[in-house]
Structure 1
């Protein structure tokens, strides 16, 4: 007796993607490219490699903004799309900025802890949003506000790093220098990641969602 169930087609998951999901994947690809560019800079010491990586983060931001607009335009939002968006944001606005910061010279032991804290805050922020999005949504099923700053605001951190790199302030010449605290070094510039991460996980800070 033959099985009546249809056999899954090759790449069936990709065939089910909506148009907005492809823009979300573009976001993730940009973030991954930024990580690769940061690693390449550490090998080549060519400023061009670092600046290419930093330029990919604004491009990821554009993809991130467009995927939501396209989903609303085509009325094709889905749970899969929301999860995909969060995973892409972790790469482009969580891991990639940290990789670029490390490449710029924020490589002290305390820097490592602060940058790890930032990524942890970003992941927690996105997980909380996914869980509470339905609770925050109004009658039109649209979320009216963010609790804490959205993770794409890390674009501001990348812009600061880009300006510093353009002025040659990387490695030992990083802005504000370094401080020896106990066994490890701390570069004060890394504290902007601590502030950004703390703002992301705030429950009292509410930002209207466009």
Structure 2
């Protein structure tokens, strides 16, 4: 016979975490999926030289932005705002608007040693930006619990760089044809165009820039 403890033990559900996701969480995952797909497409382009993969890498990131735009609105409309959703959003944003643009820059030809340092700096700024936002959101929130402004530029603003380099790629300005060319500094090469990522990353971690939140 079964003991009382065995009879009252709660039944474990399969895939319980996924089953607990809300609609907004699936949109957030869509954001992360698009960012990951963009990185894989960039790697495929680097390996094969097939421009269709480069176009796919660029094309997935605006879809990621749409998912990022919708997930918060859906969560608020359905009163499903949660800490899980907030953490998912930050991780997805890091993939789609931090690592994926850096991978694209590498794929477009920014592969010198100084380029790598600049791109790592950009991603590190994105990580720091998201961590600071999560840690200070409660302090910055006004009445109703809504954050009134961002400290530093939000990480999705990196898509402005993606749009710029997408236009350059469409005109064949990639690889050796990147604007401003390449310079050798000491033992490593630098493509001056990569400094745009340094500027973008620095703007993310600025405490003096305050961007009103819609």
Tell me if TM exceeds 0.5: yes
Determine the structure 1 residue equivalent to 2:131: 127
Listed as ranges, the gaps of 5+ residues in structure 2 are none
Determine the structure 1 residue equivalent to 2:10: 6
Partner SS, residue 202 of structure 2: helix
Once residues 16 and 147 of structure 1 are traced to their aligned partners in structure 2, the CA distance between those partners, rounded to angstroms, is 32
Q: Structure 1 residue 90: deviation in Å?
A: 0.5
Asked if 1:84 is matched to 2:88, the reply is: yes
Once residues 114 and 8 of structure 1 are traced to their aligned partners in structure 2, the CA distance between those partners, rounded to angstroms, is 47
Once residues 48 and 122 of structure 2 are traced to their aligned partners in structure 1, the CA distance between those partners, rounded to angstroms, is 27
Structure 1 stretch 170-179 or stretch 30-39: which is displaced more? 170-179
Partner SS, residue 25 of structure 2: helix
> Radius of gyration: which is bigger?
2
Once residues 196 and 60 of structure 1 are traced to their aligned partners in structure 2, the CA distance between those partners, rounded to angstroms, is 19
TM-score between both structures, scaled by the size of structure 1: 0.98
Q: Structure 1 residue 59: deviation in Å?
A: 0.6
Determine the structure 1 residue equivalent to 2:179: 175
Once residues 142 and 76 of structure 2 are traced to their aligned partners in structure 1, the CA distance between those partners, rounded to angstroms, is 15
Q: Structure 1 residue 7: deviation in Å?
A: 2.6
Q: 2:148 aligns with which of 136, 141, 144?
A: 144
Partner SS, residue 29 of structure 1: helix
Residues 102 and 7 of structure 1: is their aligned pair in 2 closer, same or farther, counting only changes over 3 Å?
Answer: same
CA RMSD of aligned residues (A): 0.8
Structure 1 stretch 168-177 or stretch 79-88: which is displaced more? 168-177
Listed as ranges, the gaps of 5+ residues in structure 1 are none
Partner SS, residue 150 of structure 2: strand
Partner SS, residue 105 of structure 1: coil
Partner SS, residue 145 of structure 2: coil
Determine the structure 2 residue equivalent to 1:98: 102
Q: 1:111 aligns with which of 110, 115, 132?
A: 115
Q: Structure 1 residue 97: deviation in Å?
A: 0.3
